[in-house]
Amino acid sequence: MSDAPLLVAEGLGKYYGTRLGCRDVDLTLHAGEVLAIVGESGSGKSTLLGLLSTELAPSAGRVAYRMRDGEMRDLADLTEAERRLLLRTDWGFVRQHAEQGLRMAVSAGGNVGERLMAVGWRHYGGIRQEAADWLARVEIATERMDDDPRTFSGGMRQRLQIARNLVTRPRLVFMDEPTSGLDVSVQARLLDLIRQLVEEFGLAVVIVTHDLAVARLLSHRMMVMKAGRVIEEGLTDQVLDDPREPYTQLLVSSVLAA
């Protein structure tokens, strides 16, 4: 992992009127590092992900990102065109509900190919071949390349969404409960795939999950959120094996008792 951080948040907060989304969040993420943000529903983890990914504007604090030229840029200072370019090239976003991250009326190959066209690919044969290669990589038969994603199972849609996001070799990927709602066996295959691709491409990942088993399998570090604030953070195994805060202890014990 590089010594220079890839993403930095300082004093980050979000209010919805008088309701707190999250507050006083500081974090640093390096290239190749996977950070899990965990907590119960309403803990603020999804709000934090929205702030880091620029989908939400902060009420307080700032988020900075190290561009490919090495310059740290405050994301609030980016033009809309710069932000959209970042989302199409350097960043990926794997959503909990795959239909929100895919164009459901476009073929499987088209979903992957669109992202390549957004970064300048123009040769149809090259785009189609790269899309086919990525479908095979995420265990989707190339014969399904021209099929509508609406005919795919939930697990296949998630794998397609991963291919769509990773085909441009992003440096940072946001993941929002990527295995939620899937059967246990499908979850296991998807987690193995994600772990393999993260290691292969050296991706930095911020993953939001309520599932501590997912956090343990995928992440290097973990942040535990409660009522909009980070109450504990550290190396994933350290937090899970020796939790300091009573709330974290309760989360871990509830998993063990399940």
User: pLDDT tens, 87-96?
Assistant: 988 999 999 9
Mean pLDDT of 144-162: 94
Structure tokens belonging to residue 126? 């090259």
H/E segment holding residue 28: strand 19-30
Domains, the chain, ranges and CATH? 5-90+174-257 (3.40.50.300), 102-169 (no CATH)
Give yes or no for residue 103 having a pLDDT over 60: yes
Mean pLDDT of 35-61: 95
H/E segment holding residue 13: strand 5-16
Cα-to-chain-centroid distance, residue 50? 11
Mean pLDDT of 161-172: 94
Straight-line distance from the first to the last Cα atom of the chain, in angstroms, rounded to the nearest whole number: 35
Give yes or no for residue 14 having a pLDDT over 90: yes
Task: For residue 258, name the pLDDT band (cuts at 50, 70, 90).
Answer: very low
pLDDT digits (tens, 9 = 90+) for 197-246: 999 999 999 999 989 999 999 999 999 999 999 999 999 999 999 999 99
pLDDT digits (tens, 9 = 90+) for 170-189: 999 999 999 888 888 888 88
pLDDT recorded at residue 28 = 97
pLDDT recorded at residue 101 = 93
Mean pLDDT of 51-80: 95
pTM for this prediction: 0.93
Q: How many Å apart are CA 144 and CA 109, to the nearest integer?
A: 8
Q: How many Å apart are CA 178 and CA 183, to the nearest integer?
A: 12
DSSP 230: E
Give yes or no for residue 82 having a pLDDT over 50: yes
Mean pLDDT of 103-132: 91
Q: In what side-by-side order are the strands of the sheet with 229-235?
A: 91-94, 172-176, 204-209, 34-38, 221-226, 229-235
Task: For residue 256, name the pLDDT band (cuts at 50, 70, 90).
Answer: low
Task: For residue 255, name the pLDDT band (cuts at 50, 70, 90).
Answer: low
Q: How many Å apart are CA 229 and CA 226, to the nearest integer?
A: 6
Sign of the C-alpha dihedral computed for residues 207, 211, 217 and 220 taken in this order:
positive
Average model confidence (pLDDT) across the chain = 92
Give yes or no for residue 118 having a pLDDT over 70: yes
Q: How many Å apart are CA 221 and CA 255, to the nearest integer?
A: 19
User: Helices marked H in the chain — which ranges?
Assistant: 45-52, 80-88, 98-101, 108-118, 124-137, 154-166, 184-201, 212-218, 236-241, 246-257
